[in-house]
Amino acid sequence: MNMKAYRCAVEVTIEVAGGKWKPLIIHYLLSGTKRFGELQRLIGGVTQRSLTLQLRELESHGMVNRVVYAEVPPRVEYSLTELGRTLAPTLVAMREWGENYMARREAEQQ
């Protein structure tokens, strides 16, 4: 990643941890190590291809660890790196904002 190509730090954050699936992947990995199928079930609606690509990007940015066990069938586990765990306060803030937003919208509709 060429840091000089970014106009601001928010753009870097969106590149590394933004999009439709990455925040959800990080959110679910905050509670501990998960296997691919478990992540796919938790997230819901994500295709195998999309989840694979998003996990690879998170891994390439140093956010996620991928461990392959030499078993038959192969077992692959994903966990957050120390750097990945630094996003916890951001995701907590996003969750709280979302809860407040939903409550406010629901109250407006009554």
- Model confidence, pTM: 0.88
d(CA 39, CA 36): 5
**Would you tell me how many other CB atoms lie within 10 Å of the CB of residue 50?**
15
Coil, helix or strand at residue 33: coil
Q: Give me the residue label for tokens 């509709």.
A: 109
Predicted pLDDT at 23: 96
Residues of the chain with pLDDT under 50: none
pLDDT, one tens digit per residue, over 30-50 is 999 999 999 999 999 999 999
Strands 34-35 and 75-80: antiparallel
Domains annotated for the chain, with CATH where assigned, are 3-108 (1.10.10.10)
